[in-house]
Amino acid sequence: MSEMRTVLVAGGTGFIGTHLCKFLRKNGYGIQIVSRMPSPMSISWNDLTSKGLPEKVHAVVNLSGQNVLDMKQRWTPGFKQNVYNSRINTNKALANAIMDADHKPKVFVTISGVGIYKPDIKREYNEYSDVEGYDFLSKMCLDWEKAARLEENACRQVNIRSGVVLERNGGMIQQLYTPFFFGLGGPVMPGSQYLPWIHMMDLCRLFLFCIENEKLNGTLNGVAPQIITNSDFSEAFAKAMRRPNFFPVPEMMLNIMLGRDRASMLTKGQKVFPKRVLDKGFTYKFPNIEDACKEIVAKPSN
Ligand SMILES: NC(=O)c1ccc[n+]([C@@H]2O[C@H](COP(=O)([O-])OP(=O)(O)OC[C@H]3O[C@@H](n4cnc5c(N)ncnc54)[C@H](OP(=O)(O)O)[C@@H]3O)[C@@H](O)[C@H]2O)c1
């Protein structure tokens, strides 16, 4: 019998991490987690830096990061520093552990965001587009990706620039579920801003694709091929919930609640296409927002 392959998932306790670990287990992988919280299933960041990568790790994935849109946190310099450090330092620690390991994993897969692309009404971006830091979050994305970079030939490396991840019990859907449920939902104004999105199932499948596709390297846009606006999303979500889509969320309100930098993640958006993902032969289970929303709202809550 062949030995079970282990994936080391940093941030495996989070929204995406929990789904990814479950999905990888279903596909025959063993999981080890890197976490700030000690548990029998996980190693700590201290363990990683002092003892190095656990033995016989097949793949390393990093999904760590302080939640940017945590409504309980004000957008202060201290919080911004946490948001930044939790991404840059974890990617760096994993990259160093991989480069120092005697037995290298086959692949290092990281995540960053479509916030690396500057919102523009006309311009469509793909993985080959030029990127430049234009605000705090885009500069952070650049540093985040840079921090993961390995010396040549250390191992294969893929970074997924993810759009908003859609699933029932976390992220944006969790925040919107209650207002829509009570008939108080609506688009975030102006509504015409693009909303790069991906269904959680497809994101997990894309991670597996990166782990298993031995020729794959470089950047992939973790977004569905259907480009939609915030209004399109809101309409699809309301329809799936069988609720009205009447109450637009004013831009000003989000600017006040979240701070302008953060609010821009919702009030502005990028037109992002997964050209390289499709060129590499990945196929989506949920390429269409109506089907994605229907599947998601049909699920029971946890
Ligand atoms: N959700 C989305 O729609 C989306 C879209 C694009 C990109 N992403 C990126 O994908 C990653 C995972 O997203 P998610 O929604 O799954 O995030 P999440 O649930 O908020 O958190 C992921 C994990 O990060 C770790 N973490 C939190 N704060 C930390 C800190 N200060 N220092 C070190 N580790 C910390 C936590 O693990 P422990 O408590 O076990 O340490 C947590 O479980 C994030 O980097 C996020 O920016 C997410």
Number of domains in the chain: 1
Q: Is 82 in the pocket of ligand 1 (CB under 6 A)?
A: yes
Residue 92 in domain: yes
Q: Is 83 in the pocket of ligand 1 (CB under 6 A)?
A: no
pLDDT bin (cut points 50, 70, 90) of residue 300 is confident
In this prediction, residue 260 carries a pLDDT of 87
Residue 169 in domain: yes
CA of residue 12 to ligand 1 center, whole Å? 9
CATH of the domain at 285: 3.40.50.720
Residue 269 in domain: yes
Residue 134 in domain: yes
Q: What is the residue-averaged pLDDT of the chain?
A: 96
Which residue is closest in CA terms to ligand 1's atom 28? Answer: 66
Residue 302 in domain: no
Percent of the chain exceeding pLDDT 90 equals 91
In this prediction, residue 27 carries a pLDDT of 98
Q: Is 274 in the pocket of ligand 1 (CB under 6 A)?
A: no
Q: Which atom of ligand 1 is nearest to the CA of 11?
A: 23
Q: Is 62 in the pocket of ligand 1 (CB under 6 A)?
A: no
Residue 97 in domain: yes
Rg (CA), the chain: 19
Q: Which atom of ligand 1 is nearest to the CA of 36?
A: 41
**Whole-Å CA distances, 146 to 57, 110, 233, 271, 275:** 23, 11, 32, 23, 22
Per-residue pLDDT tens for 156-200? Answer: 999 999 999 999 999 999 999 999 999 999 999 999 999 999 999
In this prediction, residue 261 carries a pLDDT of 87
Per-residue pLDDT tens for 123-149? Answer: 999 999 999 999 999 999 999 999 999
Per-residue pLDDT tens for 63-95? Answer: 999 999 998 999 999 999 999 999 999 999 999
Per-residue pLDDT tens for 38-55? Answer: 898 899 999 999 999 999
As a whole number, mean pLDDT of residues 215-229 equals 98
Q: Is 12 in the pocket of ligand 1 (CB under 6 A)?
A: no
Per-residue pLDDT tens for 6-33? Answer: 999 999 999 999 999 999 999 999 999 9
Per-residue pLDDT tens for 106-128? Answer: 999 999 999 999 999 899 999 99
Residues 200, 165 contacting (CB under 8 angstroms): yes
What residue numbers bound the domain in which 17 lies? 6-297
Q: Which atom of ligand 1 is nearest to the CA of 82?
A: 31
Q: Which atom of ligand 1 is nearest to the CA of 144?
A: 45
CA of residue 2 to ligand 1 center, whole Å? 33
Q: Is 165 in the pocket of ligand 1 (CB under 6 A)?
A: yes
pTM exceeds 0.95: yes
Residue 266 in domain: yes
Residue 1 in domain: no
CA of residue 10 to ligand 1 center, whole Å? 9
95 CB-side CA count, 13 A: 20
Any residues with CB less than 8 A from the CB of 222 and at least 6 apart, and which?
Answer: 111, 160, 161, 162, 163, 198, 203, 206, 274, 277
In this prediction, residue 1 carries a pLDDT of 54
Q: Is 87 in the pocket of ligand 1 (CB under 6 A)?
A: yes
Nearest C-alpha neighbor of 8 from the set 30, 27, 25 = 30
